[in-house]
């Protein structure tokens, strides 16, 4: 084997916490998985929170919340999705206030602090329907954060309501929206999006929603679903789009241009990154899927590339409990949610469940301290 000094230098730069570029990311991707994991774990240590009561990188966080899908009616017909239904389908639905009250109360009774609420792109729900739902939840459950509506949904809302995205986000925020999830990210490359979801928000619109939300002081997450029709370069382009947007949002925060929210809810940027591989069962997208090795490789690469996003979530919901646990040694510092309810991934044939005790045990068994958090990574226990 020929010794490569430049690759050794790259390893050292990663170890030191320096920023890498796309070409260097391609080189790292082809390292042995275990070696890439060691480098990602090192970057995880360098990204530790300074205000975790002295625990630093010894902890792994999790959140107790529930994923409530307010409707499965959708007019974008994504090829990778097994959840959506047409309005005429026998199992199409729109949630009622009574149903959501029951689901949220069950979540609160289990120690939950948040609902993740997303749905299909329903063309007939009015803006007032959403505002009434948000204000109803805020008034009845004032301590529960509403983490809701993906960027793709906001782009659809803008079309349905004939209003600018900024006005809609502002009105939703004032009615009770607390933060925005990064659903619908898939791969932030238009070639890919045109292949798998041509009627859904393209890259510029998707990132534009996130930029607007950050300007309005909201925290958001960002996701990546890979392992279908995209190339490695397109995965890296997704990471570059993410890092570039975070750079802009953090610069705005530093300059004081971001609208303030509240002191205990620090927003204005991406709070976390989550990736997972395509789940193929019951979907119309015919593409070769990838397994746990590729998932760990991409999560590790994301931790190294996304040097400005502090929190990386392990996707145990798609990978299973054991791989989810191993992912904590491949760059992740957060175990995500116990997922009291999950409907979208399970429709694609993947169903894993876990309680708080299971999550705490999995975290402890790998050498970390488990801590429940809220959406803004404030520790609760």
pLDDT in tens, 264-313: 788 999 999 999 988 755 556 666 677 899 999 999 999 999 999 999 99
What local confidence, expressed as pLDDT, does residue 70 receive? 86
Mean pLDDT over all residues of the chain?
88
Domain boundaries of the chain, sorted by first residue: 5-372
Please state, in angstroms and as integers, the Cα–Cα distance from residue 326 to each residue in 26, 292, 366, following that order. 23, 10, 8
Per-position b or e across 55-72, b if 16+ CB within 10 A of its CB: eeeebbbbbbbbbbbbbb
What local confidence, expressed as pLDDT, does residue 83 receive? 64
pLDDT surpasses 80 at 104: yes
Mean per-residue pLDDT, 88-106: 86
pLDDT surpasses 90 at 115: yes
**pLDDT single digits (tens) 218-238:** 999 999 999 999 999 999 999
What local confidence, expressed as pLDDT, does residue 74 receive? 79
**pLDDT single digits (tens) 187-217:** 999 999 999 888 889 999 999 999 999 999 9
Per-position b or e across 276-291, b if 16+ CB within 10 A of its CB: bbbbbeebebebeeee
Mean per-residue pLDDT, 59-88: 77
Helix (H, G, I), strand (E, B) or coil at 41: helix
Q: Which of 87-96, 120-129, 342-351 has the lowest mean pLDDT?
A: 342-351
Mean per-residue pLDDT, 67-86: 71
On whether the CB atoms of residues 186 and 41 are closer than 8 A, the answer is: no
Q: How would residue 338 be classed by pLDDT, with cut points 50, 70 and 90?
A: confident
What local confidence, expressed as pLDDT, does residue 342 receive? 47
On whether the CB atoms of residues 178 and 145 are closer than 8 A, the answer is: yes
pLDDT surpasses 70 at 59: yes
Q: What percent of the chain has pLDDT over 90?
A: 70
What local confidence, expressed as pLDDT, does residue 282 receive? 55
Residues present in the chain in total: 381
- Residue 113, Cα to own-chain centre: how many angstroms? 17
On whether the CB atoms of residues 157 and 127 are closer than 8 A, the answer is: yes
What local confidence, expressed as pLDDT, does residue 218 receive? 97
Q: Which of 60-69, 257-266, 276-285 has the lowest mean pLDDT?
A: 276-285
| Rounded distance between C-alpha atoms, residue 304 and residue 40, angstroms | 6
What local confidence, expressed as pLDDT, does residue 279 receive? 72
Return the CATH class of domain 5-372. Answer: alpha beta
Q: Which of 7-11, 122-126, 274-278, 302-306 has the lowest mean pLDDT?
A: 122-126
Among candidate residues 310, 369, 250, the one with its CA nearest the CA of residue 47: 310
pLDDT surpasses 50 at 323: yes
Among candidate residues 301, 303, 337, the one with its CA nearest the CA of residue 317: 337
Mean per-residue pLDDT, 89-97: 79
Mean pLDDT is highest, among 37-51, 90-104, 268-282, 320-334, for 320-334
What local confidence, expressed as pLDDT, does residue 191 receive? 97
What local confidence, expressed as pLDDT, does residue 80 receive? 56
pLDDT surpasses 60 at 158: yes
What local confidence, expressed as pLDDT, does residue 355 receive? 85
Q: What percent of the chain has pLDDT over 70?
A: 86
Mean per-residue pLDDT, 340-350: 48
User: What are the start-end ranges of the H helices in the chain?
Assistant: 5-16, 22-29, 33-46, 97-109, 127-140, 151-161, 165-175, 190-196, 203-215, 232-255, 292-305, 316-319, 321-326, 344-347, 356-365
């Amino acid at each position: 084997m020929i010794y490569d000094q430049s690759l050794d230098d790259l390893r050292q730069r990663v170890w030191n916490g320096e920023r890498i570029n796309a070409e260097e990311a391609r080189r790292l991707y082809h390292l042995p998985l275990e070696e890439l994991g060691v480098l990602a774990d090192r970057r995880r240590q360098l990204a530790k929170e300074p205000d975790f009561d002295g625990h630093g990188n010894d902890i792994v966080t999790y959140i107790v919340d529930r994923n409530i899908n307010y409707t499965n009616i959708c007019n974008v017909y994504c090829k990778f999705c097994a959840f959506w239904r047409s309005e005429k389908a026998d199992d199409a639905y729109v949630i009622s206030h009574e149903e959501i009250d029951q689901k949220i109360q069950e979540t609160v009774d289990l120690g939950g602090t948040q609902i993740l609420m997303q749905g299909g792109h329903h063309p007939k729900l009015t803006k007032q329907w959403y505002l009434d739902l948000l204000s109803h939840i805020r008034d009845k459950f004032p301590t529960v954060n509403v983490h809701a509506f993906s960027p793709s949904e906001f782009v659809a809302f803008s079309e349905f309501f004939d209003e600018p995205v900024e006005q809609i986000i502002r009105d939703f925020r004032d009615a009770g929206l607390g933060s925005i999830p990064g659903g619908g990210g898939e791969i932030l490359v238009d070639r890919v999006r045109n292949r798998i979801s041509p009627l859904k928000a393209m890259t510029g619109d998707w990132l534009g929603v996130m930029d607007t939300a950050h300007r309005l002081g909201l925290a958001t997450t960002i996701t990546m679903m890979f392992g279908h029709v995209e190339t490695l370069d397109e995965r890296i382009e997704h990471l570059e789009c993410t890092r570039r947007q975070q750079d802009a949002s953090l610069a705005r925060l530093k300059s004081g241009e971001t609208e303030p929210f509240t002191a205990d809810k620090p927003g204005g940027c991406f709070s976390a990154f989550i990736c997972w591989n395509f789940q193929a069962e019951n979907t119309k997208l015919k593409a070769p899927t990838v397994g746990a090795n590729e998932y760990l490789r991409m999560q590790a690469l994301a931790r190294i590339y996304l040097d400005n996003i502090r929190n990386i979530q392990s996707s145990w919901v798609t990978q299973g409990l054991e791989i989810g646990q191993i992912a904590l040694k491949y760059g992740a510092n957060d175990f995500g949610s116990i997922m009291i309810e999950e409907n979208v991934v399970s429709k694609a044939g993947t169903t894993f469940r876990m309680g708080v005790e299971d999550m705490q045990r999995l975290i402890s068994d790998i050498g970390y301290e488990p801590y429940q958090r809220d959406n803004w990574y404030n520790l609760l226990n």
